[in-house]
Amino acid sequence: MKKLATLLILSLLSIQHSYSQCIVDLGPDRMICANAPIMLDAGPGFVSYLWSTGATGQTTMVFGPGTYGVSVINAQSDTCSDSVFLFMAAPLSISLDCFGTSCDTCTDGSVYATVFGGFPSYSYSWSTGSFAPFLTGVGQGTYTLSVVDGNGCSASESCDVLIGNLGTGPFEISGNIYFDIDSNGTKDIAEGGISYTKIMLAPDNLVTYTDSVGNYIFHADTGLHTVSVFLQPGWSISSDSLSYTIDAQTGTYTNNDFGIKIPNAGSITCTLSGGLARCGTLAALYISSSQFNYSNVHSTIKLILDSAVIFQASNPASTSVSGDTIIWDLPGNTGYSSMNINAQVLLPSNMGYNYYTYLETTLFDSNNVVISVCTDTINQTIVCSFDPNDKAVSPEGIGSQHMTFLDETPTLDYYIRFQNTGTDTAFQVVILDELHTNFDINSFEFVASSHPVSVTILDHLVEFRFENILLPDSNVDEPGSNGFVRFRCNPILQPASYLLENTAYIYFDFNSAVVTNTVFNTITLSVGVDQLISSTKGILVYPNPFGNAATIKFSNANNDRCELSIYDITGRKVRSQVNSEDSFIVYKNELNSGMYFLSITNFDDPSVLQGKFIIK
């Protein structure tokens, strides 16, 4: 018993000694936000502190990432130390796009925020007290947004809302783009304005489109501005100025008109667009057609449906319906004219069905001789489960990386579809789309929309604004509650492959943004990779695409020794074989899905054949 008591006393003394040991703890390694100092605390009770920063108190303030340490001495003169590593959080930044008011006292301005970096999710706080990611219905003034990300890091940005829906200045610059039938440089009564023609204001880097009658308007700041037209192939300007330079100082600057002439007797353009293809429902097909002519002509619009799709009605009404073919005969006219048709069709109920629609528009002269023909097609897949507000791109690309070959498909075609799924009519719909800087913004082309829309481009931000759209909610009018916008743009050629992502933000009246899905393409070239070309001349690959194996057949009558080399899209050689036959067999094995290039080198000839194949 005495021995046990002695051990207990020794144990207690040991515990007491351990508590008197010197221990300092700066905590675990952690993040530090950019431009946000952090205070390190060594804790109280020490008689001496010495930090790696040179501070000699209990705390020290640090302003950047790195390793920081402290050495302390306690009352028993014991010395101990600790250190902590601070690493930089992902940088957080904000871009604000301000759209001005239409008059000095109006409250129809808006500010839209795009947040970059950081760590989701984000919380928003405006100087107005709003917590939405945008502001609408605001007057002139300065607006500041503060954003806090999931790491607790923050950033803020301000912008000024001034007069001018299409810019940020108080001076109005306007004009009309018209088809100059007689090429006299003056707009005559019979010469109509050209709709949706692209206009640029420099040096503001601001782009807009004409409305349905060819009018355009900019709002500019004080100083020199130049207005110019993006001419389509074959167009030329007949009016007195190829561009207008305005020294904006006061008031408005009107009649900056551009006359357009075309070289031939007439031409017709067309586009065919479709809404979301939902199984067993009514869907809309949108037809747009424009024509230029110097004499009295007439035109025909022909729509040929898939055999499983049933035509219901159209606005305007069709001239005739015969089976799967619907025809609109348009009366004769001279000059420029355009036509928009909304055709309602009933889709089949079988999910995954792929249906095809063909459009043909033909321009005839007074003797029924064909002057110009335009065709377009759409190919859609029926879906039953869907998000009514979505984004799609064509082409989608090949494989899981959505490989898209710039030399074969220089343009990406985007659809943004939206639906009012609320409980009341939407009076305004605004869509914002921030295009990647790897897009050639000068190649941007507005294609079509379901309703009249104004299009504004500032740098790489595109705004589609549907004013007074009066879009019914889906409970009242399901087909009528849908809309879309469609545009094209060309990626920029780069020496290496790169990823292009795109997401749209849809605003219904004063509600928060509906964020669409993100579509992406991996942009690359199918030519120029180690002198490989896209041609398959002299080579037969079957099956192609293939899942497990394919045979590569070529001419080798003399049984020369040949080498097959296989390259991925980066130009890296991934396989090679040598034989003296007239074929090779390629197995998928560990190769990923996607496109590959091949070359066959004849060592005895010598000659090289090139081609490509796709692994599913």
Query: How many domains does the chain contain in total?
Result: 6
The answer to the question of residue 529 being in a domain is no
Whether residue 60 is predicted with pLDDT greater than 90 in this model: the reply is yes
611: its two tokens:
């081609």
Of 248, 214, 219, 243, give the one whose Cα is nearest residue 230.
Answer: 243
Maximal C-alpha separation, the chain: 128
Of 532, 605, 529, 602, give the one whose Cα is nearest residue 571.
Answer: 529
Whether residue 190 is predicted with pLDDT greater than 90 in this model: the reply is no
Looking at 161, 196, 221, which one is the last position of a domain? 161
The whole-number pLDDT of residue 147 equals 92
Q: How is residue 205 annotated by DSSP?
A: T
Whether residue 27 is predicted with pLDDT greater than 80 in this model: the reply is yes
Q: With beta carbons less than 8 A apart as the criterion, state whether 54 and 70 touch.
A: no
Average pLDDT over residues 9-15: 38
Looking at 323, 353, 381, which one is the last position of a domain? 381
Of 69, 18, 66, 21, give the one whose Cα is nearest residue 45.
Answer: 21
Per residue in 220-262, pLDDT tens? 878 899 999 998 888 889 888 889 999 988 878 989 999 998 8
The answer to the question of residue 400 being in a domain is yes
The whole-number pLDDT of residue 606 equals 60
More confident residue, 542 or 215: 215
Average pLDDT over residues 141-165: 85
Q: How do beta strands 454-458 and 206-209 pair?
A: antiparallel
**Residue 46 banded pLDDT, cuts 50, 70, 90:** very high
Q: Which of 106-110, 231-235, 528-532 has the highest mean pLDDT?
A: 231-235
Tracing tokens 């500019």 back to the chain, one arrives at 220
- Say yes or no: 61 and 153 in one domain: no
Determine the residue type at 244. Y
Q: With beta carbons less than 8 A apart as the criterion, state whether 425 and 459 touch.
A: no
Average pLDDT over residues 351-362: 83
Q: With beta carbons less than 8 A apart as the criterion, state whether 522 and 404 touch.
A: yes
pTM beyond 0.75, yes or no: no
Environment class of 569 (CB within 10 Å of its CB; exposed 0-12, middle 13-18, buried 19+): buried
**Residue 163 banded pLDDT, cuts 50, 70, 90:** low
What is the number of alpha carbons within 13 Å of residue 556 lying toward its C-beta? 27
Looking at 138, 161, 184, which one is the last position of a domain? 161
- Say yes or no: 135 and 208 in one domain: no
Percent of the chain with pLDDT over 70: 90
Average pLDDT over residues 86-97: 84
Question: What span, in angstroms and rounded, lies between the C-alpha atoms of 481 and 112?
Answer: 24
- For the domain that residue 43 is a member of, what is the CATH number? 2.60.40
Q: Which domain holds residue 11?
A: 2-88
The whole-number pLDDT of residue 169 equals 65
- Say yes or no: 513 and 610 in one domain: no
Q: How do beta strands 59-62 and 266-274 pair?
A: unpaired
Average pLDDT in the chain:
83
Question: What span, in angstroms and rounded, lies between the C-alpha atoms of 577 and 203?
Answer: 58
Angle CA(452)–CA(453)–CA(456) in degrees, nearest 5? 160
**Residue 5 banded pLDDT, cuts 50, 70, 90:** very low
- Say yes or no: 191 and 316 in one domain: no
- For the domain that residue 573 is a member of, what is the CATH number? 2.60.40.3080
- Say yes or no: 478 and 441 in one domain: yes
Whether residue 414 is predicted with pLDDT greater than 90 in this model: the reply is yes
Q: Which of 79-88, 155-164, 345-354, 550-559 has the highest mean pLDDT?
A: 79-88
